[in-house]
């Protein structure tokens, strides 16, 4: 069974994934890094050259491959839940943890990130975060087995909470 981290960028998926991988001795699979490796170019370059749909196709390929593994930490991209087939694949052999944070926390955490192009193109940074969260929150909620708010918790505390929930679930009859 995998531990799957879902949520908007800047909620702590990668940082928490690193801690979980170290604690459990499991491999960490970062979907964005795998997509970049597969495409041989950055995400902004993929989107500029081939569009968001091609990026999402690559994301679905990576999701399918990673979801088939066992005892891995899966650090998904923020939009992974947009395609129902991705969620279905991840749920087959994974417990999904939705990492949440407020718009202001996300904005503060990702303000210097140049590795993702704008999703809306014309809005301010915080407007985009707010709008995209509003659009995706229902999908995150529907996909998640558990939600963990990362606003006021350290990376270590979030990892501890996820391990607690994962172990409780593992020991259910």
Q: Which of these ranges, 27-36, 82-91, 123-132, has the smallest mean pLDDT?
A: 123-132
> Alpha-carbon distance 173 to 151, whole Å?
33
Instruction: Work out the average pLDDT over 95-103.
Output: 93
How wide is the angle at C-alpha 136 spanned by C-alphas 77 and 37, nearest 5°?
A: 15
Strands 28-30 and 94-100, by their bridges, are unpaired
For the chain, list the domains and their CATH numbers.
Answer: 2-170 (3.40.50.300)
What are the phi and psi torsion angles at 147 (to 5°)?
Answer: -120, 135
For residue 113, the model assigns a pLDDT of 57
> Alpha-carbon distance 170 to 11, whole Å?
25
For residue 160, the model assigns a pLDDT of 97
For residue 112, the model assigns a pLDDT of 65
Three-class HEC string of the chain = CEEEEECCCCCCHHHHHHHHHHHHCCCEEEHHHHHHHHHCCCHHHHHHHHHHHHHHHHHHHHHHHHHCCCCCEEECCCCHHHCHHHHHHHHHCEEEEEEECCHHHHHHHHCCCCCCCCCCCCCCHHHHHHHHHHHHHHHHHHHCCEEEECCCCCHHHHHHHHHHHHHHHHCCC
> Band of the pLDDT at 36, cuts 50, 70, 90?
very high
Answer whether residue 64 shows pLDDT above 60. yes
For residue 118, the model assigns a pLDDT of 46
Closest CA to 20 of 5, 42, 38: 5
Percentage of the residues of the chain whose pLDDT score is greater than 70: 91
Instruction: Work out the average pLDDT over 18-34.
Output: 97
Burial of 75 (0-12, 13-18, 19+ CB in 10 A): buried
For residue 23, the model assigns a pLDDT of 97
Instruction: Work out the average pLDDT over 133-151.
Output: 94
For residue 124, the model assigns a pLDDT of 67
């Amino acid at each position: 069974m995998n531990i799957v981290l879902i949520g908007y960028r800047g909620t702590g998926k990668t940082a928490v994934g690193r801690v979980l991988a170290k604690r459990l001795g499991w491999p960490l699979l970062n979907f964005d890094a795998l997509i970049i490796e597969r495409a041989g170019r950055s995400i902004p370059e993929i989107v500029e050259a081939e569009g968001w749909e091609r990026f999402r196709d690559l994301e679905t390929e990576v999701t399918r491959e990673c979801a088939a593994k066992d005892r891995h930490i899966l650090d998904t991209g923020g939009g992974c839940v947009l395609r129902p087939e991705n969620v279905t694949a991840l749920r087959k052999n994974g417990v999904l943890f939705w990492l949440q944070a407020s718009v202001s926390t996300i904005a503060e955490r990702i303000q210097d990130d140049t590795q993702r192009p704008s999703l809306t193109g014309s809005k301010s940074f915080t407007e985009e975060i707010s709008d995209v969260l509003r659009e995706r929150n229902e999908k995150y909620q529907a996909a998640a087995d558990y939600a963990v708010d990362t606003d006021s918790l350290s990376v270590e505390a979030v990892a501890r909470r996820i391990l607690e929930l994962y172990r409780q679930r593992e020991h259910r009859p």
